[in-house]
Structure 1
Amino acid sequence: MPRRALWLYGLFLWFFLGSCTLQAAEIGVHNPKLEWTDEGYALSADFSFELPPRLEDAVNRGLVLNFVADFQLERERWYWLDEKLARRSQSYRLSYHALTRQYRLSRGVLHQSFDSLDAALAVLRRLRHWLVIEHKAQELTPGASYQAMLRLSLDITQLPRPFQISALGNKDWTLGGNWAHWNLVLPEAPVQGEIAQ
């Protein structure tokens, strides 16, 4: 058996045999705000969660955790299902590098390094200036009312296969949240020459 496979199998057994039942951790969404920018509408929000001990231990042992932020914008229709107008997803990778003793939080090709897990999680909890709607979306009307939805969750499908099996029905590996819904009026472009307050 290859050395990497042996290591993963051993780590899987350690987690599986040592699993205990804890309350499933949830991710809350707070202070969502959509702002007008030159490129489109940018979303900012705060997430509240604590990493369960099992997941924290997994990161410290070299397992990469993948998180996904999902956003949707809908228009309510009384005669049919709500119309979905915009959808965006953004992925994050949280990892620990034993050689440098640093945690890394990556989004696409961009990444930041941190001396502690708490510092990396603090950045993950703060979503800032995420472009979710481009101005070329013709079906949207500034000043009109829409229904917005946002969530952040751990993507267990990105875990190695043995951990995916262990995560099924195991509250130690569950970290996510239900959609946060709020009504918003799509911001209008600032008047030319307007002074920001």
Structure 2
Amino acid sequence: MLRAPCQTAAVASRAGAAPRRAWLPGALLALALLGIAPAGPAAAQGIAVAEAALRAPDDGEGGALLDAQFDFELPAVLEDAVNRGIALYFVIDFELYRTRWYWFDRKLVGTALTYRLTYSPLTRQYRLARGTLAQPFDTLAEALATLRRVRSWKVVDPGVLHRGEDYRAQTRMRLDISQLPKPFQVDALTNRDWNLASEWRPVPVPPELLR
């Protein structure tokens, strides 16, 4: 017996939804065992890009370094998570485009800097890691103060910026929820405090960087 198209679509939709819902109870149970209850929708506190500027490297070899200052407070749910051993990954994105009036702007640079914020109950210290480099802090406030400030990040290699061309650049900071454990990714669907991010902030390209 042939099903009507709408009936077939409804059956397929229910069949596909079941596997997706199957792991939700386990994820919510994991949250409960950690003592972190899923929260309802809340106002996101967000991240503000207070300052962002490009400058030439001190060695005079060309290219550009980014200095930036981000302003934000860690929401209570994120502070609770990191204190319970959950690693938080913060990403700073930078993009550089060559503007073209006759076509879409051409993307020249797309790079990211990732920080990993963790807490060790054994040493009672917070750690902020960037690649293989890690720095310990006695308090969360000290770790966040360092996280909010970026200095001398090389974002543009020599030979990219040229005189006679127009450029635009932008940067932002965000919490990478894709690197959270699955239960917390579920909570991020309903709790905006987990979706901590800034808007893209334009960064002027100084003429002295063009060669």
TM range (shorter): 0.7 to 0.9
- Secondary structure at 2:80 match in 1: helix
Report the equivalent of 1:92. 115
Structure number with higher helix proportion: 2
Report the equivalent of 2:130. 107
| Percent identity of equivalent pairs | 47
Aligned length: 180
Alignment partner for residue 196 of structure 2, among 175, 179, 193?
175
Report the equivalent of 1:60. 83
Amino acid at match of 2:188: A
Q: Distance in 1 between matches of 2:120 and 2:164?
A: 47
Instruction: Please state how far the C-alpha of 1:177 moved relative to its aligned partner.
Output: 1.3
Instruction: Please state how far the C-alpha of 1:142 moved relative to its aligned partner.
Output: 5.2
Q: Distance in 2 between matches of 1:99 and 1:10?
A: 26
Give the TM-score normalised by the residue count of structure 2: 0.78
Instruction: Please state how far the C-alpha of 1:75 moved relative to its aligned partner.
Output: 1.8
Stretches of structure 1 lacking an aligned partner (at least 5 in a row): 1-7, 190-197
Report the equivalent of 1:23. 43
- Secondary structure at 2:208 match in 1: coil
**1:75–1:169 CA distance, 2 compared to 1 (3 A):** farther
2:156 is equivalent to residue 133 of structure 1: yes
Instruction: Please state how far the C-alpha of 1:187 moved relative to its aligned partner.
Output: 2.8
2:35 is equivalent to residue 12 of structure 1: no
Amino acid at match of 1:96: Y
Report the equivalent of 2:174. 153
Stretches of structure 2 lacking an aligned partner (at least 5 in a row): 1-26
Amino acid at match of 1:113: P
Runs of 4+ in 1 over 6 A off after TM superposition: none
Alignment partner for residue 73 of structure 1, among 96, 105, 122?
96
Instruction: Please state how far the C-alpha of 1:143 moved relative to its aligned partner.
Output: 7.7
**1:41–1:182 CA distance, 2 compared to 1 (3 A):** closer
Amino acid at match of 1:12: L
- Secondary structure at 1:59 match in 2: helix
Q: Distance in 2 between matches of 1:97 and 1:113?
A: 10
Instruction: Please state how far the C-alpha of 1:145 moved relative to its aligned partner.
Output: 4.1
Give the TM-score normalised by the residue count of structure 1: 0.83
